[in-house]
Structure 1
Amino acid sequence: MISVRRGHREIPAGQVPDWLDRMLARKPVKVVAVALANRMARTIWALIAGNSSYRAAPA
């Protein structure tokens, strides 16, 4: 939850993921925090299951 709040406040609006902005506009912060945690967990699971390294998507 702290990451959601801190990330939304400190990162300029153009750098925060669009889905996060949209969710924060219509959902409570705790719901958005759970969605962010779920997204991170799915990414980590995919990396572990596929035995691969993380590659950031080009912006």
Structure 2
Amino acid sequence: MTTNNTSLALSTDIGSASRLTQLGLAAFLGLFIVGFAGFSHISAVHNAAHDVRHSLAFPCH
């Protein structure tokens, strides 16, 4: 019976660490995409991001 409790506690710890890792990677990816599109010197990338912001009614000026 103790092996079931131990494996349950171990799987909970792994799930929590996995969620934290996923959250960190998602935040990094989001910041990278916003930073790349927002500060890109490639006009096509910057203009596409600008048009998307306007289509979502997000103020960017």
TM bucket (normalised to shorter chain) is 0.3 to 0.5
Which is helix-richer, 1 or 2? 2
State TM-score, norm by structure 2: 0.39
**Structure label with greater radius of gyration:** 2
State TM-score, norm by structure 1: 0.41
